Chains A and B, each alone.
Chain A
Amino acid sequence: MTGFKTLKEKAIAFDRANVDTDQIIPKQFLKRIEKTGFGQYLFYEWRYMADGSLNPTFELNQDKNQHASILIANENFGCGSSREHAPWALLDYGFKVILAPSFADIFHQNCMKNGVLPIALPKEQIVQLLEKGKQQPYQLEVNLEKQTIGDETGFQVSFEIDAYWKTMLMNGWDEIEITLQLADHITAYEQALR
């Protein structure tokens, strides 16, 4: 994972509630052996027509939404199974931040573990952001260090994040990295065993 402190990138208005992990990545793609490459199957059922062509009405397929890395969605994002393939698919597609009024527990955890930043904002703020995002290509600036989100028109709000995960994400550490910093303890434990 590469750490980020601030990120200024395109945001997509994805005005849907209760988006479950089956919709994020359908089960027929779980037999793959890679962690990468799931991006092409992200939102598969919505994104493609029955004949395999792109569904022109789907948010991700609209011209103004290309190369976005921030997803603005509605409540209970990521509900359903515990599959880690969901954050893998989002990340592989290019999403680094997801904004929503609420997230499903396990999905939220899985995102952090995989370097995707899920930010919960009050419903009114999400409604505002969705409106802006629907109009034109829309850019947001996410400052993880200061815990703020803003745009060029002066919109500015702050958000909450667990201190442990903030450190991890800012440094681009994953849990393994953190643990490896304790390698001396592990070695000492192993030596005491002998």
Chain B
Amino acid sequence: MTTVLLINDDDDIAQLVRSLLQARGMTVLDAHDESTVEKQLREFPADVVVIDSDIRSATSLHLINVVRSLTKVPIVLLTEASLALRCLPSLDLPLVFSKPIDVNDFAERIMALVPTEEAEVLSDLTAQLADLRKVFADALPSKLDTLSEAVSAAQMDPAHIEVAHMLAHRLHGSAGSYGFEAVGHAAAGLEDLLADVFENRQLASQNAFWESVRSALQDTRMSANRAPELEAIAPGVLIGRTRAILVVDDDPDFLRLVKANSRALMIDVVTAQTPQEALQYARTRPFVAALLDVHLGPNTNAFELAKEIRRTPQNESLRIAFVSGDGAMQTRVSAIEAGASKFLEKTTLNDSFATTMEAFLKSSADDRGRVIVVEDDADTREMYMFILEQAGYSVSGLECADVLVETLEEKGADLLLLDVNLPRLSGVDVCRALRMSERWGLLPILIVTSLADARLRVNAYRAGASDVMSKPVLPEELVARADAQMERARLLRDRADKDGLSGLMSRRALLENFQRVLGRCKRELEPLALVFLDIDRFKMVNDTRGHLAGDRVIARLGELMRQRYRVEDLRGRWGGEEFALVFPGQEREFATHAAENLLREFSRIPFYSDDGTEFYVTFTAGISGYPDDGESLEALFRCADDRLYAGKRSGRNRIMGAGSLTEVSEIWDAEEGL
């Protein structure tokens, strides 16, 4: 409970202020002169002292000094406008009001001055946590020294490996909990390396092994050096979701180069020299993107590795780029099937690395969601924007709602953060207006109020706010509320846009996205290719193998299509046993290769009928391309559909490209088995 000491001898004003503050749950005590002030403050510690300057027995300046000698709580001065101007600068008071006061404004700002209990506890906690982290940070260099010594001792005598492993393990577990995530990850790499020796004792006698241990140790040290810089940017903010990029290459020099580059770009890069290492990282954390060398050594297939990384639950939608000097069609097809959005050449990497990674970070933020923040106070607005950007959102800011609708239309938004007190229109009115429009009727809107006033909350909800939060805004709370709104919106969208059985886009979502992508290709003079495919003799599969087996076929093909290709390629279930695949920026030839590979893979998957017998399934596909086969969505679908039916008539189990008949000869002829 907040206690306010009101020093005043004008009963009318005292009455007004008292009832205002009491209505908001505060306890109000009175004092009329210097001696009662002393008595009250000694007996009942106040949280705020309000001084009215019209006091005859002492000047307000003297009273301020008396209060200051007794307590450190904020002092609010109520005074004549002329007096306020004269004494303001020298007094260093948090609030000065000139009479007559605006009662609501007055109460609200007094409330804002007194931290609410919960906020106090949390800010206190954050401070304690910051202290703990400081202690940890101070001890970190000596921990790293101990770790280095343990590694050296282990190299001399493998009996000490266990000690080094334990130290790395501890650092792995603790560093991240103290906010030093990069140190934790690097230590995890070291821990895993050292654990390998337990399985294979031979390693301990190999120089190459100790070299990689040394480099992992070096990584750990480097990330420890970098941590304080990040701290300086975000003091006390614990919510920063890392936006890290995974780089996989067997060449340590290249990895060092990338690390150096990424530091300059302020991108968090995690490097892995082996596929095992890369997968270990991918299983434990989400990445924004992965950059893989196509040539990862003789026994490693980089494309398979990319697919496996994408199969880890946290990295289903990460961007993938390959580094290679080889631009052959089959390599490109394999790369795109493995999800590559970008091909980089090692020789020109310095320039293209920066632009590619920045584009990846940007598009990943767009994927997470776009937030528009409307708040007139520049500092507050920037704080909200910083917090939300740290949480991985793409954020833009406005100081008033005047151009809000234009901004919404131009940039789109997944969440709107509205302050209640805006110039001209209030946030509540803005919210009400948006709710009346069809287009923005469902947009999640989060309203921030500085009044912990139930009536205002009710008004905000009545106006259609999805959520209301009051100042002071805690970073964690802001992110948690934004996340919750986004997640709800995403679930609703998914339910409408996703086909339940295949997990691909629904027909409607595919059409909408296709239209958008086609428009962009036209503007940017890029080609586009469409694959329209139909599972062969699916009715017979359902009739002879059972409907559940038919469902499994649809689900498996959907899964295969989800696991392949780039994030930007569209994959949808058209209906029944028909599917569509759209490759923006690619020619028909490419799509034909890709469809052939898909057919080959799909036709080798064994299915089991409801009674347990094994069977195989094929499909037939028609390809069409913009601009060669037409300019409109309808023309492209019609053309692909014509080719698909030509393929069905000429025997099924084949891909029909532009005019020429392409048959995949070595595949299993599944129809024999039906």
Is chain B a partner of chain A in the same complex? no
Q: Which A residues are closer than 8 A to B by beta carbons? A: none
